[in-house]
Amino acid sequence: MRLGFVGTGALSSAIVTGLKSLPGETTPVAVSPRNEEIAADLAQRFPDVRVAADNQAVLDQCDTVMLAVRPQIAREVLGELRFRPGHHVVSLIATISREEIASLVAPAARVGKALPMPMIARLQGATLVCPPDPIVAAFFSRLGGVIEVEDQSEFDALTVVTATYASYFKYLDTIHAWVRSQGVAGDKARDYITSIYKALANAPDTMPNADFMHLAQDYATRGGINEQVLRELTERGAFEAFAESLGRVHRRIAGG
Ligand SMILES: NC(=O)c1ccc[n+]([C@@H]2O[C@H](COP(=O)([O-])OP(=O)(O)OC[C@H]3O[C@@H](n4cnc5c(N)ncnc54)[C@H](OP(=O)(O)O)[C@@H]3O)[C@@H](O)[C@H]2O)c1
Per DSSP, what are the bridge partners of residue 50? 30
State residue 254's pLDDT score: 85
Residue 151 CA to residue 113 CA, distance in Å, equals 10
Q: What is the pTM of this model?
A: 0.92
- CB-based contacts of 178, cutoff 8 Å, min separation 6: none
Peptide bond into 209 cis (omega under 30): no
Residue 126 carries which DSSP code? P
| Tens digits of pLDDT across the chain (256 residues) | 999 999 999 999 999 999 999 999 999 999 999 999 999 999 999 999 999 999 999 999 999 999 999 999 999 999 999 999 999 999 999 889 999 999 999 999 999 999 999 999 999 999 999 999 999 999 999 999 999 999 999 999 999 999 999 999 999 999 999 999 999 999 999 999 999 999 999 999 998 889 999 999 999 989 999 999 999 999 999 999 999 999 999 999 887 5
Ligand 1 atom closest to Cα of 94? 47
Q: Where in the chain is the domain with CATH 1.10.3730.10?
A: 163-254
Residue 194 CA to residue 186 CA, distance in Å, equals 12
Q: How many CB atoms lie within 10 A of CB 128?
A: 20
State residue 19's pLDDT score: 98
State residue 126's pLDDT score: 97
**CATH superfamily label, 3-150:** NAD(P)-binding Rossmann-like Domain (3.40.50.720)
Residue 161 carries which DSSP code? G
Q: Where in the chain is the domain with CATH 3.40.50.720?
A: 3-150
- Identify whether the C-beta of residue 106 lies closer than 8 Å to the C-beta of residue 81: no
State residue 94's pLDDT score: 85
3-state SS, residue 47: coil
Choose which residue among 17, 32, 34, 81 to substitute to test ligand 1 binding: the one with the highest number of ligand atoms within 8 A of its C-beta.
34
Q: How many CB atoms lie within 10 A of CB 130?
A: 23
> Whose C-alpha lies nearest to ligand 1, atom 42?
9
Q: How much distance in Å is there from the Cα of 67 to the middle of ligand 1?
A: 9
- Identify whether the C-beta of residue 107 lies closer than 8 Å to the C-beta of residue 85: yes
Q: How much distance in Å is there from the Cα of 178 to the middle of ligand 1?
A: 37
Fold exhibited by the domain 163-254: ProC C-terminal domain-like fold (1.10.3730)
Choose which residue among 6, 36, 70 to substitute to test ligand 1 binding: the one with the highest number of ligand atoms within 8 A of its C-beta.
70
State residue 253's pLDDT score: 87
